[in-house]
Every structure is written in structure tokens, then in C-alpha cells.
Amino acid sequence: SQQGEEDPQALSIQEGENATMNCSYKTSINNLQWYRQNSGRGLVHLILIRSNEREKHSGRLRVTLDTSKKSSSLLITASRAADTASYFCATAQTDSWGKLQFGAGTQVVVTP
């Protein structure tokens, strides 16, 4: 079954704009991880946020986690054409480190 649900399914923006995508999940988690996947390629790990954390930053990426709402968001600031990709959230439940449950992803297109 699918644990994470990303929203929106697709997002089209212009270079320089910010892109925000959300992820909701159903059960308690140990951590939540965000990944990027370029077409036909493997997954690139972006950020891991633990259940006791509320916000993390990495370069132009900002991730928030609200465990009371069982939701997370990924913000990409000042987007670039190279940010065009599919973005997935994945949750790891307690004592299940690498057994991730993925959502269907958000497809982001950044237009120059």
C-alpha cells in the first residue's frame, strides 16, 4: 500500500520561481526522506528529516515536517531548469530503517 501521497501530481513553473510540493502519510514514522529522479534515472537522495525535527535546509531546499498533521513539504527556491525532475517522499516507520514506503511523486517542470 502507498504510505506517502504527494501533492500536486504535476507542477509547472518558470525559472526563478519557488516550487512547493507536499506529502501526506498515514502511520507513525521514524523519518521521512525526499528524493529526486530525473527521467529514466536512479533516485538521488535530497534530505532526511527525523520525526523529532520540524525543518531542515540544504542549499535551495527546505523541508518541513508536521507529525501532528502527518505531512511534509519540500520547497525549492529560485528554481532552475536543471530542477526539472520527479520528486518523491518516502517514509520509514519505527524500526524499519530502509524499508521505505513511497508516494507516486510530483513531476516538476521548470521552464527557462
Partner 1 sequence: SQTIHQWPATLVQPVGSPLSLECTVEGTSNPNLYWYRQAAGRGLQLLFYSVGIGQISSEVPQNLSASRPQDRQFILSSKKLLLSDSGFYLCAWSVESVYFGPGTRLTVL
Residues binding partner 1 (CB under 8 A): 2, 4, 31, 33, 35, 40-45, 48, 88, 90, 92, 97-105
What's the DSSP call for residue 67?
Answer: T
Task: Output the smallest distance, CB 43 to partner 1, in A.
Answer: 4
* Minimum separation from the CB atom of position 16 to partner 1 (A): 28
The residue among 12 and 18 lying less far from partner 1, judged by its C-beta, is: 12
Residue 81 dihedral angles phi and psi, to the nearest 5°: -55, -35
Residue 50: CB minimum distance to partner 1, A: 8
The residue (of 81 and 104) whose beta carbon lies closer to partner 1 is 104
Residues facing 3 on adjacent strands: none
State which amino acid sits at residue 100.
L
* DSSP one-letter string for 23-34: EE-SS--SEEEE
